A and B are shown apart, each in its own frame.
Chain A
């Protein structure tokens, strides 16, 4: 009898646990259906902070930046003893799906790092707190940020984030490979490019592409089936934006993605763009750029760090990655000069406040601190990324210098007049990526010609805005 009731009790306990678990897993209504207090404009006087201890959840995706932001959080908590910041870091892939399901389930973080490709979708679905009234109330000086960065986060009089960092693209080079080919840094820094014959940059790639017999791609006996070192490695087919892959060449032709901020017309069918992408595909077929099928999902940086290429195009957020993992002397060079000069995408992140937060005022205080000179200087000293404010940039440069890294290729690009273009912020970003990515892959794998497939894909993209 005893044994039986014990079994019964344990079964019932199990059942209770299961039921409780199910309750948690049942889909709940999105909080957007309600009208959270956050949507109302803030009171003229800062409302009294929530009574007692408030814990704010903060998410970011870059593990390299975690220590710096933890330090910011520590300073912030020391100043605001009633607010506790809990930071969660997750990889880029999981970050966005977890964030979205968190918004549905009501468990999204109060404040999170946001990206220009993602925020318009969240904003249009009413998931972000409009911080413009708070900016006005507290008199936040937007002129401390590098020009253009703050505007990227505003739309129709509303604001969804304060800029916290920026990035540009440059060329990373393997010094041993340059020396072996007799290419000087001066030559590389002054290289020119055009989509017809590739310019001196194309010539450099040929000299830096070497087969197993030590012949470079200019040698008639060059064997492109046995390449030991590729002239250039890029990160992939670039999806729809090509930030590190092709945007830095395509924009030098005068091409642009879209007709302005929040544009509704894309130009993937422009002859200048088609020519540029076809140049990439041809270079890959000749082995001067590492063919797409060899660029693994581990990314171009892994292949470059393994010594598979002489040059590699990547963003300033990867500086630390090369410093930690390259097994050879390396450095950063300027992008090649195209028909309309040097061009790099100028991208930036910001922190947004989720509409479902129960502590808007505290969340705003934290978001404001994250974008303040104080936190920017802490992040700058860590030397992992360029903060959105000049003072932070100087601290970052000093930190890189201390590690023996000359990163001026990135900063000079940012300071050059007309040297940057902004990330193409529009609606329907995820649909656009789904349409364009396979097309770019098929071109770079040599399965289709750019001129044959891009116009149709572009028509499909533009149909999204009708």
Chain B
């Protein structure tokens, strides 16, 4: 996906003058791109094209696939579980993205303007360095209603138990919190890199004009951060539409389908209900949705332009 989103590399080398590339450089560039290109073709392009074909078939993995045309897509339109999965997924994105982006921006600004400690920066991205499975298990134990430390603490303070992951109303917010905890540091780091590329002279000019710290944030920092912000928001929206691992570890789509997001539903249809063709059709719809949503976002946020 990062192939489509170019603002970050451009920003990272903002002052590079345009010139003819030397042959040597072209060879090196091609060589360096090659490994990831091979991976892209083998693990994304070929399966995606194959997926289009599979989505028109009735295939249970073990017996011969049968061509059924658009039947899977017609079934989608009438499937209440698919509608629930769509609803639940959008709900998750709405819970996840605004809070995560705001928190990450605040942390990034604090890192840039208040603290230069390498230690703090390292600590911030620690949760992101942990494998998702470990994060899921960690929070599963922390949030356990009987023996989890959060609830033990709540009870010792005379409060009642909060069944975070075990009631429909709380399950999705709890998952969103876990994932924000995991990714906010990484998102902040990206924004922080964007902040570094804003020239100090702009701030000097603003302070000579008598701007306060708050005004500078709204009038200088945010507008100039926009291209990086677009990258961050677009990639995290794509990522959160594809939420899976935390749910697979903690709730497995439950309770009462409250966390049965699109990706979990796809997994369930494919690998426990043996409906590979139908699962692939849902994947195709998710794919198209993500393309449209990303295009709209990039258009609205004018991703290709920079105010610098």
Contacts and interface: CB of A to CB of B under 8 A. Distances in A.
B146 A126 contact: no
B31 A18 contact: no
Interface string B44-69: 00100010000000001111100000
Contacts of B39: 18
Contacts of A96: 272
Contact of B268 (A100, A296, A434): A434
A445 B257 CA distance: 13
B255 A303 contact: no
Main secondary structure of the interface of B (DSSP, over half): loop
A430 B274 contact: yes
A256 to B, nearest CB: 25
Interface string B182-197: 0000000000000000
A225 interface: yes
Contacts of B42: 18-19, 22, 25
Interface in A1-30: 7-8, 11, 14-15, 18-19, 22, 25-27, 30
A148 to B, nearest CB: 28
Contacts of A18: 35, 38-39, 42
Interface string B77-111: 00000000000000000000000000000000000
Interface string B7-37: 0000000000000000000000001001100
A296 B35 contact: no
B290 interface: no
Range, interface on chain A: 35 or more
B211 interface: no
B271 A294 contact: no
A308 B147 CA distance: 10
Contacts of A441: 254-256
A437 B161 CA distance: 24
A125 B166 contact: no
B272 A445 contact: no
B272 A97 contact: yes
A103 interface: yes
A454 interface: no
Interface string A14-58: 110011001001110010110000000000000000000000000
Contact of B256 (A22, A125, A296, A438): A438
Contacts of A127: 62
Contacts of B299: none
A76 B165 CA distance: 46
A334 B168 CA distance: 35
A430 B254 contact: no
B140 interface: yes
Interface of A: 7-8, 11, 14-15, 18-19, 22, 25-27, 30, 32-33, 96-97, 100-101, 103-104, 121, 125-127, 225-226, 292-298, 302-303, 306, 308, 430-431, 434, 437-438, 441-442, 445, 447
